[in-house]
Amino acid sequence: MYASYFFEVSANSAYKTIQEIREKEKLHLLELEKLSVTDQLTGLRNRRYFDDNFAIEHQKIKRYNNKLCLILIDIDHFKRINDEYGHQVGDIVLKEFSELLSKNIRATDLLSRWGGEEFIILLPETSLENSMGIAEKIHTVINEYSFSNIGDLTASFGVSKVDPNSKSNIESFYQVDTALYQAKNQGRNRVVAYENKT
């Protein structure tokens, strides 16, 4: 009888231990998955996550004829901030900038760090006109904000509508990047929409 009781207690303990190990393993895998799609500095989604979600949204607009837009944002003269104040201050600015962007987009939008001092927003079911309004609002918020250690900074914005008939993601990214380039070329600190000249 004692042996049977001992075996039952041991079996229960072993079962609980196995369950705890499985739970820890599951949490660890979830954490690894989150890390693989998160920018470590800003906590935003990374480019890989963005690319995967863009592909899904692009398929939706092809199938359902929905609207889809992109906003590409670049902090103006960011290299100067790093050179003048150091990379630690530059990192603080990137974090604050990310938080500012996060607070000024809709729950349905996807914000990601595109690389360096560039950020991209995916706006499902949003017209170019409405996307321009969102970009202008964010532009104003940035211009009115005082960043830690440096005070003011500006940013340039490119906005584009995603063509459902585009052959690849590269075409869509080229268009929004072209709009951003035009914003910089026109003196920075502005919002410019992509215009198809064909």
Confidence (pTM): 0.85
CATH architecture of 47-193: 2-Layer Sandwich (3.30)
Question: For residue range 111-132, what is the model confidence (pLDDT) as tens digits?
Answer: 999 999 999 999 999 999 999 9
Q: Which residues of the chain have pLDDT under 70?
A: 1-12, 14-15, 18, 21, 24-35, 198
Boundaries of every domain in the chain: 1-36, 47-193
Q: What is the pLDDT of residue 23?
A: 74
Partner residues linked to 112 by β-bridges: 45, 120
- Category of 188 on φ-ψ map: left (φ > 0), alpha (ψ -120 to 50) or beta: left
**Residues 6+ away with beta carbon under 8 Å from 42:** 94, 95, 98, 113
Catalytic sites, residue numbers: 117
Average pLDDT taken over every residue of the chain: 90
